[in-house]
Structure 1
Amino acid sequence: MTTAPAAKAAEGPTAKDLDCETTGSSRAYAVCSMTGQGRGTGDSTLGTLTVELRAVNHRGFKCSLRTPEAISPLESRIESELRRHLHRGAINVNVSVERHGGQTPVQINPAVLADYLRQCQQAITDSGIAGEHVTISAASLVSLPGVLTGDQGSSDDDQLWKQVSVVVTAAAANLIEMRQTEGQAMAETLIADCQTIRKHVDSIAKLAPQVADNYRGRLETKVNRLLAEFDAEVGPTDLLREVQVFADRTDISEEITRLGSHLTLFEAVMCGENENAKSGSAKSAAGREEPAGRRLDFITQEMFRETNTIGSKANHAAISALVVEIKCAIERMRELVQNLE
């Protein structure tokens, strides 16, 4: 009897083969969440510095900073320092300074304030609204650059940066620690989904040979009924040829093998133990480590494509049901992967 070649079960090492624990936290997975918070404090010539970081999901790296005027010249350095530690995510940075009691108090620079007031008066005159009641708040005036003097601008940028960079690095380390903790929990869920998919793929591989056998049985029944009705003859060779064509058209062995390979690669990237994944990152053309999240996203897309092909080629109710389960698991994985750095 001619049947489709037996499909192989999903091959490749499992998470356990990769020394990647599936339960508990004894294994440090090579992935991090993109969300989290971090905080760092330290002394400086300006006073006590506090750097607070809040990170949310983003396709790339985006940094938004709020700093005192004395720190604003260092914003580009702060962003560059954060880029060294964080690959992806929208990072909101808030830098604050608490002056020490013995420091020079903040004062108003009357010359700068007078110049701003003169420009405001000129703008009112030029706009043709002179004589009308115009209100300018004191808070708006003192927030303008250069109006307040004292500790602002009193420190050398390079010396100040040495102090600020220590606090920024501490805040980034705090954020990364929180990201890693969240990443481990997400990784355990992803590995569990991989094992679920692998189990379903193994079941599909066992059912695959039945597709051609079932078709042969249905075809023989239909042909025999037609032959009896029209008193015609069909040779066994013709029947076998038709079954072989159907078997070739519905063969899913290659798709099963590729899906198993994608599962193995996904688990390897998660554990940071494949040749291109190191500490959760792959090397870019520039030599910089790239985060694992984007790579895992691409792998899940390929897994979904192979699963779709299996569902469309295999004309079998049980296989179709397993395909639905696999798609559900992959969709859960894709949602989680979107949150990984």
Structure 2
Amino acid sequence: MTDDLYPHLRSMTGQGRSEVSGEHGNLVVELRSVNHRGLKLVLRTNDALNAFEGVITESVRGQIERGTVTIHATLKPPPGQGLPRVNQAAVAAYASGLAEAAQGLSVPTQIDLSGLLALPGVLSTESVADESDAVIERRRQFVAEGVVAAVERFNHMRHHEAVAMARVLQSVLATIRERAGMIQELAPGVIGRYRDRLLEKIQKLLAEHHLPVEPVDVIREVQLFADRSDISEELTRLASHLELFSGVLEGTHTADAKSDARGEIANEAVGRKLDFIIQEMFRETNTIGSKAGNARIAEHIVEIKCAIERMRELVQNLE
């Protein structure tokens, strides 16, 4: 099997990192995710990116369907950019006012620049609102490109993990098919063995109590047992679920409007589709085990249930 068989699969756990530099500084974006029923984004940025939080989340949404994704983004501006600026006009006004006051009071004029810097309006920081639309757009694009690069690495890792899980799932599917085939071979003999045991009991009772038994009564009892223990329909449905599971896993499944199960999962994420199919597989397996009433079939049922549980654990990690 090659990765080309599963281009649509992604694990819900993974991480990705990007680091880009340009005229707007150095941007580092890291993404980490864990399992979640839906999509939950947790964003953590520094002050330089406060105005671009919407850009960051918008660049992530649409690329990820399920999972709790934590996004760490840090922008370090170029040296000198973003530092407070001295309002020279305000400094000159304060200095002139101090000089006039000193002259009026006949005291020496002593101007402390560090003291002036603490006065209102002397220091100012350039905000995004003060920048031109062109500069803001270039910075927005710079941030978006950094996030997209991190998402690409993030998705690549998730795809790699999902492919490994898909290979295991295909192997487990083969095991279930093999066990189901063995059950199919054993099923006809169950009725025959029941008939033989029933006749043996009847013959014993006849020998002990001389009771008459009509052959039609034996035939009727065997027929009733055959109807109760018939598992052919359940085996057919199980085989259908296995085929559907494989099709969804490989991305070759097309929704069948005539089937309730297939119609219900048509628009769900892959992980949810597979989880739904597993529930149906488990239901059919339980029914087969309860109807068959055979020790050898029961052994295969146990193995199939164990295999389904292994599949369930893996599917819960798929997006």
Bin of the TM-score, shorter chain as denominator length: 0.7 to 0.9
**Contact kept in structure 1, 2:55 and 2:143, CA below 8 Å:** no
For 2:166, the aligned partner's letter is: A
Verify: 1:236 aligned to 2:219, yes or no.
Answer: no
For residue 146 of structure 2, give the secondary structure of its aligned residue in structure 1: helix
Partner of 1:67: 45
**CA distance change for structure 1 residues 107 and 223 in 2, over 3 Å: closer, same or farther?**
farther
Which of 261, 266, 270 is equivalent to 2:240?
261
Q: Which structure would you say has the larger Rg?
A: 2
For residue 275 of structure 2, give the secondary structure of its aligned residue in structure 1.
helix
Residue 32 of structure 2 aligns with which residue?
54
Classify 1:320/1:148 alpha carbon distance in 2 versus 1 (closer, same or farther; 3 Å): farther
Per-residue CA distance 1:215-259 (angstroms, 9 max, x = gap): 101110111111111111111111011000000000000100000
Secondary structure of 1:71's partner? Answer: helix
Q: Which residues of structure 2 form unaligned runs of 5+?
A: 87-122, 257-262
- 1:76 pairs, out of 41, 54, 59, with 54
Q: 1:60 to 1:338 in 2, by over 3 A?
A: same
Check 1:177–1:200 CA distance in 2 against 1; reply closer, same or farther (3 A cut): same
Give, in whole Å, the separation in 1 of the partners of 2:6 and 2:124.
49
Tell me the amino acid that sits aligned with residue 294 of structure 2: H
**Which whole-Å CA distance do the structure 1 matches of 2:124 and 2:279 have between them?**
55
Q: Is the 8 A contact 1:70 1:152 kept in 2?
A: no
Tell me: CA distance 1:335–1:58, structure 2 relative to 1, closer, same or farther (3 Å): same
Matched, 1:326 2:304: yes
The residue number in structure 1 matching 2:117 is none
Of structures 1 and 2, the one scoring higher in RCO (CA 8 A, sep 6+) is 1
Letter in 1 for 2:61: R
Change (3 A) 1:332 1:212: same
The structure 2 residue matched to 1:37, chosen from 11, 15, 24, is: 15
For residues 301-312 of structure 1, what are the structure 2 equivalents within 5 Å?
Answer: 301-312=279-290
User: What does 1:236-315 correspond to in 2, within 5 Å?
Assistant: 236-276=215-255, 290-315=268-293
1:213 partner SS: helix
Tell me the TM-score normalised to structure 2 length: 0.79
Which secondary structure state, in structure 2, belongs to the residue aligned with residue 31 of structure 1? coil
Distance 1:52 1:152, change over 3 A: farther
The letter of the residue matching 2:164 is A
3-state DSSP of counterpart to 1:85: coil
Q: Distance in 2 between matches of 1:46 and 1:106?
A: 17
Aligned residues: 274
Alignment of 1:93-172 (within 5 A): 93-105=71-83, 149-150=125-126, 155=131, 156=133, 157-172=136-151
Shift of 1:104: 4.2
Task: Kindly provide the CA deviation profile for residues 307-330 of structure 1, in whole angstroms up to 9, marking residues without a partner as x.
Answer: 000000001000000000000000
Secondary structure of 2:48 counterpart: coil
> Which amino acid letter does the alignment assign opposite residue 76 of structure 2?
E
User: Match for 2:240: what amino acid?
Assistant: S
Please give the TM-score of this superposition, normalised by the length of structure 1: 0.74
Given that 1:36 and 1:178 are in contact with CA atoms closer than 8 Å, whether structure 2 keeps it comes out as: yes
Q: What's the offset of the Cα at 1:175?
A: 0.3
Please, what is the CA RMSD of the aligned residues? 2.6
Distance in 2 (CA, whole Å) between partners of 1:150 and 1:46 is 14
Compute the displacement of 1:160 (Å). Answer: 2.5
CA contact (8 A) 1:46 1:151 kept: no
- Asked if 2 retains the 8 angstrom alpha-carbon contact of 1:103 and 1:151, the reply is no
Is the 8 Å Cα contact of residues 282 and 305 (structure 2) preserved in structure 1?
Answer: yes
* Distance in structure 2 (CA, Å) of the matches to 1:290 and 1:70: 38
Identity of aligned residues (%): 47
Alpha carbons 2:26, 2:77 under 8 Å: kept:
yes
Match of 2:182 in 1: 203
AA of the residue aligned to 2:13: T
Deviations, residues 133-190 of structure 1 (Å, cap 9, x unaligned): xxxxxxxxxxxxxx99457666555443211111111111110000000001010000
Matched, 1:178 2:157: yes
Structure 2 vs 1, CA of residues 86 and 154 (structure 1 numbering), >3 Å: closer, same or farther?
A: farther
Alignment counterpart, residue 194 of structure 2, candidates 184, 196, 215 = 215
AA matched with 2:152: A
Structure with greater proportional helix content:
2
